[in-house]
Amino acid sequence: MTKILNNKIFKSIFTILKTCFFAILIVYILFVGYQRLSGNKSIFGYRMFTVATGSMTGVYNINDVIAVKDYDVNKLRVGDDIAYSGNRGGLENKFVTHRIIKIEDAANGGKIIVTKGVKNQAEDPPITDKQVLGKVVGVVPIVSQVNHIINTQAGFFFLIFCPLVIVIMVDILQTMTDEEIENNKLRKIVSKNNKNTDEEIIWLGRWFYEN
């Protein structure tokens, strides 16, 4: 085990894998934190939403993470996918991502927009331009893939739990191995002078490693 842990190739591969693992984990944590703490308010002109239903299956699948860009309502066209805040018809206080099927001018100078999920038979209740949050610009690839995996029990176990345990265990073993190597080096040095006990050597080894 010591030879494996001290092997340069193993150390390089392990460092790369550990870096990738924590990079993916940090990106996902930042995404979740962004959604929870921002309340999905626009940041730098963008919002991110997680698809929760199958109403847009074939375009966006459940657990896809989509990016929504602030957009001039007057430039929206039939066929555009938008995110909006529902306020009636069972959509109260919900964020909806559906496709525009009709746009009409309102009496007050605004817009009346009708949307529908591509897999839904019925259209949504009409909304005003003030309910529109933005235009969908696409799926966020890496975050979506991680989100799909993590939202399954097997995915969470093999992608998060197991790698995390392995990283911790290898780090602990490497620490123990490095400390033992330092202690052995000190034993060889001190044995020539015969001035220190084993307890002192171990203490010196720990001090040397920690500092």
Q: What is the DSSP string of the chain?
A: -HHHHH-HHHHHHHHHHHHHHHHHHHHHHHHHHHHHHHTT--BTTEEEEE--SSTTTTTS-TT-EEEEE---GGG--TT-EEEEE--STT-TT-EEEEEEEEEEE-TTSSEEEEEE-TT-SSPPPPEEGGGEEEEEEEE-HHHHHHHHHHTSHHHHIIIIIHHHHHHHHHHHHHHHHHHHHHHHHHHHHHHHHT---HHHHHHHHHHHHH-
> Contact, 80 vs 73, CB < 8 A?
no
Residue 164 is part of which domain span? Answer: 2-27+153-210
Question: Mind listing the pLDDT tens digit for each residue in 137-193?
Answer: 999 887 788 788 877 777 677 777 777 787 788 777 777 766 666 666 656 655 655
- Domain termination residue (choose one: 143, 167, 192): 143
Structural domain contains residue 100: yes
Q: In which residue ranges of the chain is pLDDT below 50?
A: none
pLDDT at 6: 58
Within a domain: 91: yes
Number of domains comprising the chain: 2
| pLDDT at res. 22 | 76
Indicate the length of the chain as a whole number. 211
Structural domain ending residue among the three candidates 110, 143, 176: 143
pLDDT of residue 179: 66
Q: What's the CA gap between 149 and 157, in Å, rounded? A: 10
Are 101 and 162 in a shared domain? no
pTM flag (> 0.85) = no
> Which residues are registered as beta bridge partners of 111?
105
pLDDT for the residue 18? 76
Are 70 and 135 in a shared domain? yes
Q: Are residues 61 and 116 in the same domain?
A: yes
CATH code (residue 86): 2.10.109.10
